[in-house]
Structure 1
Amino acid sequence: MKVAVFGPARRVGVVHEDSVVDINGAYAKFLAETSHAVRPLAEAAAAVPAQLNAFIEEGARALDCARAALEYLVDEAQDARGVTGEQLSFALDEVRLHAPIEGQSRVLCALANFADHMRSAAENSHGEDTEATINRLVSGGPKFFVKDHRAVSASGDPLRYPARTQRLDYEAEVAVVIGKGGRDIKSDDFAAHVWGYTLFNDWSVRDNVSFGPDFAYSKNFDTSATIGPWIVVNEGIDPQDIPIECRVNGELRQSGNTSSMIHSFPALGRHLSRDTTLWPGDLIASGTPKGTAVDSSRQEADGSFPDALFLKPGDVVEVSSALIGTIRNEVVKPTD
């Protein structure tokens, strides 16, 4: 099931073929037309909430009811109008899909989690401390940083080129969405806390990056966390076997798989939940494989990097996975 957030009211929808269905309204219709429900709208609000985090928290009941409602609407219902006559099904090309994250949910990002990415970055650099820095990042337990949830963008949104950089980069990633909250989660138990999977582009400023206290500054700016286009739920996906690609203006730049993560999603979940509760709706991003502009550009003798592979206004970046979908953004000037 592909669960999306759509429209002006940011309602939960289920993607079916080339449409998105208002699943709360569809379930109310299902109850009104197939049962003796006295208050179908109220019952639907409880069982299949219209807002994402409430829908996630409702767990298996919401998903089961959503599936029943979708099957009824597609196969049996006489029309696609809700209990009050409202439209329930919308063409994907006629409706806005928002990033599938809500409110205060956190975007927790693995750092230095693909060996090929880090190795390539080290091989293309010749700073005296590069090797030591790479070894420090890769060794030991997981490393992570946080993206500001207010910096989130959706597929189709323009990516505002930060005025402070001349080296804007892309990072194709997969993210797990937490469905069941918990603290001090064991690796073996983490799968029970995962609700679904989505795509993530960790847009990054590469000028004078420091891996010290101000590292997050290179990772956070308006629109710098593209998430979507939806969350894939209950599709039997192996979290450690998800292909991921990135194309810039149609050119394949990254092609990797979560099987190459240094620290698996269960290991990340265990690390991030130590003494800290993970809440339904939180995202944990995988880190990125080889092929970013920074790990593919050979440092010059004077310490500079050629800018050919770094992004420029007008570039179109697509992050995709055959198991999830595609997110697509055009880079625009900071003044646009």
Structure 2
Amino acid sequence: MTWVAYRKDGHEHVGIVDGDRYVPLKGIRRIDAATGSAELRQAEPDPDGAVHAVDVELLPPSWAPEKVFCVGLNYDEHIRETGRDLPTYPVLFPKYASSLIAADRPIPVPAESSQVDYEAEVAVVIGKAGRRIPRERAMEHVLGYTVANDVTMRDYQYKTHQWLQGKAWDGATPIGPFLVPHEEVDLPACRIRTVVDGVTVQDSELSVLIFDVPTLIATISEFTALAPGDIILTGTPGGVGFRRDPQLFLTPGSTVTVEVDGIGRIESPVIAE
């Protein structure tokens, strides 16, 4: 089973992917604090409402999360390329719902930034609320996995020692296109990669995450409650454009593809905002 969020004739739906069709779930309009794992898994599909994918507006799988958490420095190779020490506690920073765009939307390059970078990431969507979740119970709170590109304006990120202004740019973080139940994915056995204009620039196993998904959930839920629809971006491997020699940034006319085995693929044209 694979879920998808979309809009048709002004109405939002969550459905099941059936080839090139989306079959809506009865009574489910979005994944949010009131609609999580239990509601999705119990909802009945409505075959009479099935639509072709080309006839709808794709949405991020969770398009109105209460919280979006991002993890920096979660792959050893990426840490080495930044020259930092291995962290003993996850590096965390926020994004906002306004940062997210559907997987089929272009990435807009703002006039203010000349260092727009890519970051392939696995995103975790929470399906069950919790606070102070034990690591051994953490996966009970996961609905599924999706793909994200944590597009970063590096010149803004490094204006200060805080990263917010470079990471939470409005309408610049593609996520999706689908949400795969976590039980159907052996995450450590998967690979994640980024291709820019036909050249592979990131490629890593997911078994090398320094802080795995249960650890991230336990850590975050210690200081704040998690709710269905909340998203955790789990970090990016080495090969980001800012650290390459020569540096590589996204510019209008480029195409960037982020792919995670067993989860999905985002192919984004890059345009001027």
| 1:10 match | 12
| 2:233 match | 285
CA 92–208 in structure 1, closer or farther in 2 if over 3 Å, else same: closer
Work out the CA distance in 2 between the residues paired with 1:290 and 1:246: 10
Partner SS state of residue 207, structure 1: helix
Q: Which residue, out of 121, 125, 128, partners 1:173?
A: 121
CA 239–322 in structure 1, closer or farther in 2 if over 3 Å, else same: closer
How far is 1:222 from its partner?
Answer: 2.1
2:108 pairs with 1:108: no
CA 15–173 in structure 1, closer or farther in 2 if over 3 Å, else same: same
How far is 1:236 from its partner?
Answer: 2.6
2:34 pairs with 1:50: no
Work out the CA distance in 2 between the residues paired with 1:157 and 1:259: 30
2:240 pairs with 1:238: no
Tell me if the contact between 1:320 and 1:326 (Cα under 8 Å) persists in the aligned partners. yes
| 1:23 match | 25
Work out the CA distance in 2 between the residues paired with 1:253 and 1:263: 23
How far is 1:214 from its partner?
Answer: 3.6
Tell me if the contact between 2:156 and 2:165 (Cα under 8 Å) persists in the aligned partners. no
How do 1:1-336 residues align onto structure 2 when only pairs under 5 Å count?
Answer: 1-7=1-7, 8-24=10-26, 45=27, 49-53=28-32, 56-57=35-36, 59-60=37-38, 62-66=40-44, 69=45, 73=47, 81=48, 88-122=49-83, 134-135=84-85, 138-207=86-155, 209-210=157-158, 212=160, 214-233=162-181, 235-297=183-245, 306-307=246-247, 309-334=248-273
Give the TM-score normalised by the residue count of structure 1.
0.75
Give the TM-score normalised by the residue count of structure 2.
0.91
How far is 1:212 from its partner?
Answer: 4.8
* Residue identity in the other structure for 1:62: L
* More contact order relative to length (CA 8 Å, sep ≥ 6): 2
Extract unaligned runs of 5+ from structure 2.
none
CA 288–314 in structure 1, closer or farther in 2 if over 3 Å, else same: same
Work out the CA distance in 2 between the residues paired with 1:311 and 1:271: 33
Tell me if the contact between 1:3 and 1:12 (Cα under 8 Å) persists in the aligned partners. yes
Range with bigger deviation, 96-105 or 311-320: 96-105
Partner SS state of residue 258, structure 2: strand
Work out the CA distance in 1 between the residues paired with 2:87 and 2:159: 14
Tell me if the contact between 2:133 and 2:218 (Cα under 8 Å) persists in the aligned partners. yes
Tell me if the contact between 2:34 and 2:228 (Cα under 8 Å) persists in the aligned partners. no
CA 215–248 in structure 1, closer or farther in 2 if over 3 Å, else same: same
Work out the CA distance in 1 between the residues paired with 2:243 and 2:144: 29
How far is 1:211 from its partner?
Answer: 8.4
* Residue identity in the other structure for 2:154: R
Tell me if the contact between 2:25 and 2:43 (Cα under 8 Å) persists in the aligned partners. no
How far is 1:113 from its partner?
Answer: 0.8
The structure where strand makes up a greater share of residues is: 2
RMSD between aligned residues: 2.0
Work out the CA distance in 1 between the residues paired with 2:190 and 2:232: 15
Work out the CA distance in 2 between the residues paired with 1:101 and 1:177: 7
Extract unaligned runs of 5+ from structure 1.
25-44, 74-80, 82-87, 123-133, 298-305
Give 1 or 2 for the bigger CA radius of gyration. Answer: 1
Work out the CA distance in 1 between the residues paired with 2:254 and 2:236: 20
Once the two structures are superposed, residues 244-287 of structure 1 have per-residue CA deviations (whole angstroms, 9 ceiling, x without a partner) of 11111222111112211111111111111113100111011110
How far is 1:119 from its partner?
Answer: 0.9
- Runs of 4+ in structure 1 deviating by more than 6 angstroms, as ranges, are none
Question: How many aligned residue pairs are there?
Answer: 271
Once the two structures are superposed, residues 95-114 of structure 1 have per-residue CA deviations (whole angstroms, 9 ceiling, x without a partner) of 22111113243210001111
Work out the CA distance in 2 between the residues paired with 1:61 and 1:23: 10
CA 323–55 in structure 1, closer or farther in 2 if over 3 Å, else same: farther
Tell me if the contact between 2:31 and 2:228 (Cα under 8 Å) persists in the aligned partners. no
CA 181–240 in structure 1, closer or farther in 2 if over 3 Å, else same: farther
Partner SS state of residue 273, structure 1: helix
Partner SS state of residue 235, structure 2: coil
